[in-house]
C-alpha cells in the first residue's frame, strides 16, 4: 500500500512539474526545429520521438526537426558552433540543453566538491550568457531551454557515482529556468521528473536506472520519458486520436471527437459503420535498440509514464450490446479481436491493437522515421569528428587525404575516433553528405505522403 501511494504521488509530481513549465508553445505548420545539445541529443531519440508524435497526431501539419547535438560538448563549444549548426538552418524554433559535460567527471574530495563544482558552473554559465545574448538578437526564433536529463547518483549499479554532480547540474538548470522567465522563453525540466522516476523504481530494484551504466546517457525508455515531458510542457496531453460512441440498439452516433462516423447500419444484432479519424495511433517500438549497453526498448517507458492515457487513446465505445455475449470486431474485413458486450460498453482502446490497419499505417511511418534517424546519426558522427577532433587542431572542414591519415594515426589511441572513422571516411566527401541529406528529405516526404488517415469500415459481429 505504501508503494502504491508513493507511485501515485510520483505520477502527480511528474504531471504537475511538466505542466508548470514556462510557456512552451506547440509547434505549428512550417516550423523548423533545431535541437541543440551534447551527446544525449546527438545520439538520442527524444527529438525523433517528439517528431513522430507530430507526424501521426497532426498529419496535415508538416514540421522539420534537426539534430544539432555533438557528443562531449559544453556550453562554450555550443557557442562556437551556433552559427553553423543553428542559425544556418534558419529555424523558427530552437531548443538548448547542456550541463552534463560542463560539470565534469572528476571525483572531488568531499570537503572541496561544492567549491570545485561551483567553478565549473560559473565557467559554463559565462558561455551560456554569451549564447543568450546571441539568441536575443534573433527574435524570429522561438527559444526553448531544456534542463538536462539527470546524472543518476542513486542507482546501485557498479559504476562509481560522482556524488554532487547532479546537484551541480541542477544549479545550471536553475539558471536556465530563470533565463527563460526573464526573456519570456520556453523552459522544460527533464532533470527533476526523471530523478524522481529513477528513485521510485529503485525502491523496487536498486539497480534500476534510465541511464546506461555510465549513469549519464538515457536509454531509449529514458529518451521516451524525455519526449513525454516535452509534449506535456507543450500542453498536448489529453488530445485523443479519436473518441467515438455508437448505440447498437438505435444506430445513433453519441460521440465522435476528432473523428467522423457515417453509414451506421444495424442488421441481425450486428453493427457496422464507416470511421474516419483525424489522427493516427502513436506506434511504439518494442525492439531494444540504441547505442551502448544495455539496449532498451521505447515501449519499456510505458510502465514509467502515463503516455498511453495522455497521448494514445483511440476509444471505441458501443452501447446496447448484450453484456455477457461475445462480439467480434472487424476492420476493413479483417478480424481484430473479440470482446464481450460489457467490454464494448466500457470502451476499447484501438491504439493498443497492433493489428488494426491504422496502427499498421503508423508503424510504417515509425520505421521510415527510424531510417531517417539512422542516416542523420551518420551525419552527426561526421560533425562530431569535425567539431570535437579537427576544430581544436585548426583543421575544421579540412577533409583532405592528409587529414584522413592524421585521424587514422590518432585513432590508435582514441577508441571513439576509431569507431567513427568508417563514417568519416565516406562523409568527408560533400557529394556523399548531400546524397544522405537528399535521402533523409525523401524519407520525410514519404512520411508526409503516407501519414494521412483514411476511412475504415468497422463491423461488430455477434459471436454467440
> What CATH number is associated with residue 125?
3.40.50.1110
Residues near 134 by beta carbon (within 8 Å), at least 6 away in sequence: 79, 82
Query: In the structure grid, which three cell numbers stand for residue 340, read together?
Result: 464481450
DSSP state of 302: G
> What CATH number is associated with residue 352?
2.60.40
Question: How confident is the model at residue 349, as a pLDDT?
Answer: 98
Residue 401 and residue 347 share a domain:
no
Residues 132-141: what's their mean pLDDT?
A: 98
Question: How confident is the model at residue 23, as a pLDDT?
Answer: 76
Residue 50 and residue 25 share a domain:
yes
- Listed in sequence order, the DSSP H helices in 165-312 are 165-183, 191-202, 220-233, 307-311
First to last CA, the chain: 41
Q: Hey, is 264 helix, strand or coil?
A: strand
Calculate the alpha carbon distances from 418 to 213, 298, 402, 413 in Å.
22, 29, 16, 8
Q: How confident is the model at residue 268 (pLDDT cuts 50, 70, 90)?
A: confident
Residue 176 and residue 50 share a domain:
yes
- Residue indicated by cell numbers 501519414: 451
Is the model's pLDDT at 21 over the cut of 60? no
> Of the given ranges (284-298, 321-335, 372-386), which has the lowest mean pLDDT?
284-298
Is the model's pLDDT at 6 over the cut of 50? no
Residue 278 and residue 184 share a domain:
no
- Partners of residue 174 on adjacent β-strands: none
Residues 273-291: what's their mean pLDDT?
A: 93
Handedness of CA 207, 211, 213, 215 (dihedral sign): negative
Is the model's pLDDT at 12 over the cut of 60? no
Sheet hosting strand 326-331, strand order edge to edge: 259-267, 270-277, 456-462, 326-331, 334-340
Tell me: the pLDDT tens digits for 45-56?
999 999 999 999
The answer, yes or no, to whether the previous bond of 93 is cis (omega within 30 of 0) is no
Of the candidates 456, 251, 247, the residue with the CA atom closest to the CA atom of residue 333: 456
Say how far apart CA 389 and CA 204 lie, in whole Å.
42
Calculate the alpha carbon distances from 241 to 47, 69, 148, 311 in Å.
21, 31, 30, 8
Q: How many beta carbons lie within 10 A of that of residue 33, not counting itself?
A: 21
Residues near 329 by beta carbon (within 8 Å), at least 6 away in sequence: 316, 335, 336, 337, 338, 339, 348, 458, 459, 460, 461
Say how far apart CA 413 and CA 390 lie, in whole Å.
15
Residues 238-248: what's their mean pLDDT?
A: 97
Domain residues for the domain of 319 are 242-356+452-462
Question: What global pTM score does this model have?
Answer: 0.95
Say how far apart CA 260 and CA 126 lie, in whole Å.
54
Query: In the structure grid, which three cell numbers stand for residue 40, read together?
Result: 544525449
Residue 320 and residue 185 share a domain:
no
Residue 213 and residue 116 share a domain:
yes
Tell me: the pLDDT tens digits for 405-453?
999 999 999 999 999 999 999 999 999 999 999 999 999 999 999 999 9
Which of 233, 261, 296 terminates a domain? The answer is 233
What does R_g of the chain's alpha carbons equal in angstroms?
25
Q: What is the mean pLDDT of the chain?
A: 94
Structural domain count, the chain? 3
Residue 24 and residue 104 share a domain:
yes
Residue 137 and residue 93 share a domain:
yes
Reduced 3-state DSSP string for 106-168: CCCCCCCHHHHHHHHHHHHHHHHHHHHHHHHCCCCCEEEEEECCCCCCCCCCCCCCCCCHHHH
Which of 233, 262, 279 terminates a domain? The answer is 233
Say how far apart CA 78 and CA 95 lie, in whole Å.
12
Q: If 0-12 CB within 10 Å is exposed, 13-18 middle and 19+ buried, where does residue 122 land? A: exposed
Which of 233, 261, 276 terminates a domain? The answer is 233
Count the alpha carbons within 13 Å of 202 in the hemisphere toward its beta carbon: 17
Residue 366 and residue 346 share a domain:
no
Residue 215 and residue 113 share a domain:
yes
Say how far apart CA 266 and CA 319 lie, in whole Å.
13
Residue 368 and residue 345 share a domain:
no
Compute CA 250 distance to the chain's CA centroid, rounded to the nearest angstrom. Answer: 43
Q: Cα angle vertex 397, ends 392, 398, to 5°?
A: 90
Is the model's pLDDT at 5 over the cut of 50? no
Do 433 and 382 touch, CB atoms closer than 8 A? Answer: yes
Residue 391 and residue 314 share a domain:
no
Amino acid at each position: 500500500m505504501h508503494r502504491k501511494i508513493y507511485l501515485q504521488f510520483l505520477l502527480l509530481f511528474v504531471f504537475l512539474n511538466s505542466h508548470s513549465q514556462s510557456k512552451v508553445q506547440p509547434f505549428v505548420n512550417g516550423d523548423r526545429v533545431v535541437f541543440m545539445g551534447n551527446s544525449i541529443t546527438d545520439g538520442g531519440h527524444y527529438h525523433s520521438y517528439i517528431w513522430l508524435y507530430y507526424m501521426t497526431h497532426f498529419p496535415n501539419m508538416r514540421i522539420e526537426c534537426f539534430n544539432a547535438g555533438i557528443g562531449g560538448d559544453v556550453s562554450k563549444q555550443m557557442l562556437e558552433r551556433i552559427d553553423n549548426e543553428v542559425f544556418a538552418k534558419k529555424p523558427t524554433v530552437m531548443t538548448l540543453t547542456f550541463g552534463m559535460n560542463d560539470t565534469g567527471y572528476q571525483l572531488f574530495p568531499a570537503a572541496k566538491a561544492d567549491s570545485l563544482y561551483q567553478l565549473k558552473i560559473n565557467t559554463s554559465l559565462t558561455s551560456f550568457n554569451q549564447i543568450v545574448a546571441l539568441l536575443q538578437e534573433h527574435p524570429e526564433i522561438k527559444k526553448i531551454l531544456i534542463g538536462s536529463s539527470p546524472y543518476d547518483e542513486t542507482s546501485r549499479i557498479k559504476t562509481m557515482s560522482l556524488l554532487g554532480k547532479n546537484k551541480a547540474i541542477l544549479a545550471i538548470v536553475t539558471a536556465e529556468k530563470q533565463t527563460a522567465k526573464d526573456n519570456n522563453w520556453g523552459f522544460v525540466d527533464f532533470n527533476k521528473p526523471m530523478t524522481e522516476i529513477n528513485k521510485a523504481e529503485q525502491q523496487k530494484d536498486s539497480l534500476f536506472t534510465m541511464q546506461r551504466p555510465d549513469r549519464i546517457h538515457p536509454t531509449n525508455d529514458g529518451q521516451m520519458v524525455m519526449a513525454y515531458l516535452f509534449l506535456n510542457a507543450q500542453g498536448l496531453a489529453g488530445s485523443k486520436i479519436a473518441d467515438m460512441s455508437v448505440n447498437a440498439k438505435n444506430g445513433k452516433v453519441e460521440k465522435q471527437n476528432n473523428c467522423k462516423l457515417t453509414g451506421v447500419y444495424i442488421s441481425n444484432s450486428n453493427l457496422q459503420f464507416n470511421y474516419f479519424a483525424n489522427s493516427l495511433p502513436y506506434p511504439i517500438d518494442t525492439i531494444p535498440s540504441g547505442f551502448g549497453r544495455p539496449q532498451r526498448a521505447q515501449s519499456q517507458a510505458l510502465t514509467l509514464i502515463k503516455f498511453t492515457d495522455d497521448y494514445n487513446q483511440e476509444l471505441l465505445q458501443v452501447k446496447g450490446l448484450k453484456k455477457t455475449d461475445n462480439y467480434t470486431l472487424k476492420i476493413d474485413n479483417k478480424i481484430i479481436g473479440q470482446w464481450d458486450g460489457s467490454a464494448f460498453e466500457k470502451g476499447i482502446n484501438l491504439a493498443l491493437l497492433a493489428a488494426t490497419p491504422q496502427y499498421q499505417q503508423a508503424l510504417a511511418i515509425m520505421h521510415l522515421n527510424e531510417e531517417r534517424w539512422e542516416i542523420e546519426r551518420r551525419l552527426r558522427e561526421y560533425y562530431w569528428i569535425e567539431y570535437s577532433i579537427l576544430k581544436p587542431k585548426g583543421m575544421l572542414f579540412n577533409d583532405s587525404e592528409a587529414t584522413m591519415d592524421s585521424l587514422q594515426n590518432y585513432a590508435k589511441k582514441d577508441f571513439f575516433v576509431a569507431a567513427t572513422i568508417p563514417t568519416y571516411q565516406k562523409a568527408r566527401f560533400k557529394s556523399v553528405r548531400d546524397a544522405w541529406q537528399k535521402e533523409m528529405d525523401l524519407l520525410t516526404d514519404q512520411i508526409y505522403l503516407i501519414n494521412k488517415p483514411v476511412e475504415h469500415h468497422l463491423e461488430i459481429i455477434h459471436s454467440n
